[in-house]
Amino acid sequence: MLTIDDFDFALPSALIAQYPAAERTASRLLQLSDDSLHDRRFSDLPELIAAGDLLVLNDTRVIRARLLGRKESGGQIEVLIERITDARHALAQIRASKSPKAGSRIVLEDAITMIVRGRSGEHGEFFTLELTCDGDLWTLIEKHGRLPLPPYITHAAGSDDEARYQTVFARHPGAVAAPTAGLHFDDELLGQLAARAVEVAWLTLHVGAGTFQPVRVQAVAEHRMHAERFEIPPATITAIARARARGGKVIAVGTTSLRALEAAALDGELRAGAAETDLFITPGYRFQVVDQLITNFHLPKSTLLMLVSAFAGLDAIRSAYRHAITQGYRFFSYGDAMLLSRH
């Protein structure tokens, strides 16, 4: 039986990247291939992917989901939007010295007035909020909210983060965390891949705040994943079929792309459309769609570390992480990347 301790490792705090590389493609890339490790640069990627292979990228856009404010009692609060459910309602995490009561009013950024309608979610970690002022939530949050950098990044979001904590292909707003494997791509690299006959396809998975929630149980099998929304267009299903027909690999850019693709094929047939997934991928999972994965380095004991261990093999990931730490790779959202093959 796997426990969270099987996915623990000691990480020097100096290796937690606080800022992005000077250029998107300047990150390092650790390639794990045939049980061998190769130290490369992300700009080497076009040489590592064959003509006819297919990259699947997540085109979600991070919304300005962090808002500071106060309760009607005057107490200060911090709100992190989990998702906007419609123009007047949202699910959110609220940090406060004392949780607000259902029916109470909060004011965010001196501009957005909302009523707390109660708790939601399996662990009650989310509050349902209802807008009571003029406007719609999408517009108000974009105007008054703050970029929600991950909790392990210690500086407040600045202008550099506004640009670099979005992918260059971000299109559909709804995420509260970036699909970080995509942060390494720029337009020039995408052009180089196209020139080498590497096809690109798109999907959208809106990353939720739950991605940073710790696993609260010792036995991995007892953990329940948070749900995230995704949509896979018919053109992507067609592109995957074309890649298969010509003998090409399907390469997911990021764990979010992988989860969406595997969730859409759970009944044995990959289907287009919009849905939610709480798919929890751990060692022993049988992958149906993805052949290779581009991903960043993940937190100890995290569900994302469990996913990559399922994909590349637990022992192989342990070895790769030991190597990365020894070689000074940069970890987490602004850190370096890996190229993994399915074991």
Which among 144, 171, 195 is the end of a domain? 144
Specify the pLDDT at position 122. 54
Residue spans of alpha helices (H) in the chain: 45-48, 137-144, 159-164, 187-195, 234-245, 255-263, 303-312, 314-326
Q: 284 pLDDT band (50/70/90 cuts)?
A: very high
Which among 109, 144, 179 is the end of a domain? 144
Which among 144, 169, 199 is the end of a domain? 144
Give the model confidence (pLDDT) of 134-146 as tens digits. 999 999 999 999 9
SS3 label, residue 160: helix
Q: 209 pLDDT band (50/70/90 cuts)?
A: confident
Give the model confidence (pLDDT) of 16-48 as tens digits. 999 999 999 999 999 999 889 999 999 999 999
Q: Which two tokens stand for residue 153?
A: 């990044």
Q: At residue 318, does pLDDT exceed 90?
A: yes
Please name the amino acid found at residue 200.
V
Q: 120 pLDDT band (50/70/90 cuts)?
A: confident
Backbone angles phi, psi at 326, to 5 degrees: -60, -35
Pair 195, 292 in one domain? yes
Specify the pLDDT at position 121. 60
Higher pLDDT, 236 or 122: 236
Please answer whether residues 37 and 30 qualify as being in contact, where contact means their C-beta atoms are separated by less than 8 angstroms. Answer: yes
Give Cβ neighbours of residue 267 (< 8 Å, ≥ 6 apart).
Answer: none
Pair 317, 168 in one domain? yes
Pair 135, 171 in one domain? no
Pair 168, 305 in one domain? yes
Q: Domain limits at 301? A: 4-62+160-341
Q: 119 pLDDT band (50/70/90 cuts)?
A: confident
Residue 155 included in any domain? no
Residue 216 burial by Cβ neighbours in a 10 Å radius (0-12, 13-18, 19+):
exposed
Number of domains in the chain: 2
Mean pLDDT (whole number) for 246-251: 98
Task: Taking the CA atoms of 84, 213, 330 and 341 in sequence, report the sign of the dihedral they define.
Answer: negative
Domain of 282, CATH number, reads 3.40.1780.10
Strands 112-120 and 105-108: antiparallel
Helix (H) or strand (E) holding 316, with range, is: helix 314-326
Residue 167 included in any domain? yes
DSSP assigned state of 249: P
- How do the residues of the chain divide into helix, strand and coil, expressed in percent and rounded to 5? 30, 30, 40
Specify the pLDDT at position 67. 98
Specify the pLDDT at position 226. 85
Residue 16 included in any domain? yes
Which of these ranges, 96-105, 114-123, 268-277, has the smallest mean pLDDT? 114-123
What mean pLDDT value characterizes the chain?
95
SS3 label, residue 14: helix
SS3 label, residue 154: coil
Give the model confidence (pLDDT) of 124-135 as tens digits. 678 999 999 999
Residue 89 included in any domain? yes
Q: How far apart are CA 110 and CA 77, in angstroms?
A: 12
